[in-house]
């Protein structure tokens, strides 16, 4: 995390004539044939047209164009884009600044030119993602990872592999001391006469030992992650294994605090899975959960609108945003809307009119400005990606802080 925060610290003090900020999605589908490059070039073309329409100074346009070229060169090298599902790039040709931050996701593809870098989205993603604990378990292994916006790391001394059907816990604190040898196997004693065949009974005992060993490992693992949670306070928990159906039995052992944080399961082999593979599967699960939550957001919108605590429509959202009355803004993924920005007050409007006496306006895709303004007001940004749910949003919608 240190590197990312150091980068953000440097960017937060950057002021320049033209700072280019890019947020670009790098999902698997856009990586095929490097489609993200085509997307980026289209964004650059539109932004150049917008800058000319705004009457930007020639010096600013040239500086922005140099940054556009440098970003394209960076994106053209696939090795620069490994191990991320999105990226934020910030460039100032004038100041000789070029910084990038790999991200688990971005809200949507955005290209902005301003006198400072647009870094609020990174802070918002960091807060939304938080810390995620990921436990992988099979009969012989228990591995634990922590994931956040900056990447994933394995807690290497979390639990040793049970290669000898015994274990030793290293990082769980005094609560787990004395657990050594819990899983040591012993053959059952035969209690029947020498001439009686005990195959069925012996097989039953054998399978019961395996089941008890499995339940013991789940218990030990749940105790271990609870000890880790006491120290790291991770926000969400993901559990994985070879057999997802079987791994769900861990819920019977989890502390209530951990059950509250459990968001789902992933299929992964604890013996062979790499950290990047685990991170990819975890992010896929998080995205899947987000898509499921979109239905709840639309349902909540319909309920709150009738109570005066939500609005559905771009003009109404802009009105509430100007009042600081937006708690959450809902935006369909590909929604675009031309509008105007008052150059001094930065008020966003659909008509070339400002609420004050200022007359300087410039046209823009106001969706980018809405996202930035919402983030500056500590509002939550929700991007609606499901096509049928997008139809229920009239441009943009918002949940309000207070009743209108």
**What one-character-per-residue DSSP string does 338-360 give?**
EEEEETTT--EESSS--SSS---
The yes-or-no verdict on residue 168 having pLDDT over 50 is no
CATH for 1-129? 3.30.960.10
Give strand ranges (E) for 189-282: 236-241, 262-267
How confident is residue 141, by pLDDT bands cut at 50, 70 and 90? confident
How confident is residue 170, by pLDDT bands cut at 50, 70 and 90? very low
In the chain, residues under CATH classification 3.30.420.60 are 131-273
What average pLDDT does the segment 193-201 reach? 49
Please answer whether residues 340 and 351 qualify as being in contact, where contact means their C-beta atoms are separated by less than 8 angstroms: yes
Tokens, residue 28: 């698997």
Please answer whether residues 380 and 329 qualify as being in contact, where contact means their C-beta atoms are separated by less than 8 angstroms: yes
DSSP label of 179: -
Q: Which tens digits make up the pLDDT trace of 329-387?
A: 999 998 999 888 887 778 888 888 887 776 667 777 899 999 999 999 999 999 999 99
Please answer whether residues 267 and 244 qualify as being in contact, where contact means their C-beta atoms are separated by less than 8 angstroms: yes
What average pLDDT does the segment 149-178 reach? 56
Please give the pLDDT value at position 159: 61
Please give the pLDDT value at position 142: 87
The yes-or-no verdict on residue 32 having pLDDT over 50 is yes
CA distances to 23, 61, 66, 113, 243 from 43, in Å: 11, 15, 15, 12, 44
Q: Which tens digits make up the pLDDT trace of 123-138?
A: 999 999 999 999 999 8
CA geometry: angle at 314 spanning 299 and 40, to 5°? 100
131-273 adopts what CATH topology? Nucleotidyltransferase; domain 5 (3.30.420)
What are the percentages of helix, strand and coil residues in the chain, rounded to 5?
45, 20, 35
Residue position matching structure tokens 């050594």: 180
* C-alpha–C-alpha distance, residues 336 and 68, integer Å: 22
* C-alpha–C-alpha distance, residues 18 and 316, integer Å: 31
Handedness of CA 76, 78, 83, 85 (dihedral sign): positive
Q: Which tens digits make up the pLDDT trace of 285-304?
A: 999 999 999 999 999 999 99
In the chain, residues under CATH classification 3.30.1330.30 are 291-404
Please give the pLDDT value at position 205: 60
What CATH architecture does domain 291-404 belong to? 2-Layer Sandwich (3.30)
Question: At 344, phi and psi to the nearest 5?
Answer: -90, -55
Please answer whether residues 111 and 43 qualify as being in contact, where contact means their C-beta atoms are separated by less than 8 angstroms: yes
How confident is residue 398, by pLDDT bands cut at 50, 70 and 90? very high
Please give the pLDDT value at position 103: 94
How confident is residue 140, by pLDDT bands cut at 50, 70 and 90? confident
In the chain, residues under CATH classification 3.30.960.10 are 1-129
* Nearest residue to 134 (alpha-carbon basis) of 25, 273, 249, 246: 273
What average pLDDT does the segment 179-185 reach? 41
State the chain's maximal CA–CA distance in angstroms. Answer: 105
CA geometry: angle at 264 spanning 260 and 268, to 5°? 135
Please answer whether residues 386 and 299 qualify as being in contact, where contact means their C-beta atoms are separated by less than 8 angstroms: no
The yes-or-no verdict on residue 188 having pLDDT over 80 is no
Please give the pLDDT value at position 162: 36
* Nearest residue to 314 (alpha-carbon basis) of 353, 342, 340, 343: 340
Question: At 341, phi and psi to the nearest 5?
Answer: -125, 125
Tokens, residue 403: 């009743």
| Structure-model confidence comparison of residues 206 and 392, the more confident one | 392
């Amino acid at each position: 995390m240190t590197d990312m925060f150091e980068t953000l610290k440097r960017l937060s003090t950057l002021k320049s004539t033209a700072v280019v900020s890019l947020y670009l999605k790098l999902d698997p589908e856009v990586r095929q044939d490097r489609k993200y490059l085509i997307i980026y070039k289209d964004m650059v073309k539109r932004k150049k047209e917008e800058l000319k329409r705004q009457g930007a100074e020639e010096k600013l346009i040239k500086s922005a164009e140099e940054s556009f070229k440098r970003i394209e060169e960076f994106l053209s090298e696939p090795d620069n884009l490994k191990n991320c599902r999105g990226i934020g790039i910030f460039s100032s040709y004038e100041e000789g600044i070029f910084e990038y931050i790999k991200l688990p996701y971005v809200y949507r593809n955005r290209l902005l030119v301003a006198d400072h870098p647009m870094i609020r989205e990174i802070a918002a993603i960091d807060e939304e993602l938080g810390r995620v604990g990921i436990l992988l378990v099979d009969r012989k292994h228990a591995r634990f990872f922590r994931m956040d916006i900056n990447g994933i790391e394995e807690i290497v001394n979390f639990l040793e592999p049970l290669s000898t059907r015994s274990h030793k816990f290293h990082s769980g604190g005094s609560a787990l001391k004395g657990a050594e040898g819990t899983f040591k196997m012993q053959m059952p004693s035969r209690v029947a006469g020498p001439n009686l065949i005990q195959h069925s009974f012996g097989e039953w005992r054998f399978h019961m030992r395996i089941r008890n060993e499995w339940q013991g490992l789940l218990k030990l693992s749940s105790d271990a992650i609870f000890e880790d949670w006491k120290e790291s306070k991770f926000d969400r928990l993901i559990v994985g294994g070879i057999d997802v159906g079987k791994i769900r039995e861990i819920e019977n052992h989890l502390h209530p605090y951990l059950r509250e944080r459990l968001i789902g399961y992933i299929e992964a082999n604890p013996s062979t899975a790499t950290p990047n593979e685990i991170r990819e599967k975890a992010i896929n699960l998080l995205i899947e959960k987000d898509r499921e939550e979109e239905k709840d957001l639309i349902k909540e919108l319909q309920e709150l609108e009738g109570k005066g605590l939500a609005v559905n429509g771009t003009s109404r959202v802009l009105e509430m945003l100007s009042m600081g009355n937006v708690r959450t803004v809902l935006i369909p993924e590909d929604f675009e809307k031309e509008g105007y920005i008052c150059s001094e007050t930065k008020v966003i409007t659909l008509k070339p009119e400002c609420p004050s006496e200022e007359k300087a306006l410039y046209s823009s895709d106001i969706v980018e400005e809405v996202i930035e303004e919402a983030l500056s007001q500590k509002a939550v940004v929700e991007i609606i990606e499901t096509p049928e749910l997008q139809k229920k949003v009239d441009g943009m919608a918002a949940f309000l802080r207070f009743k209108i």
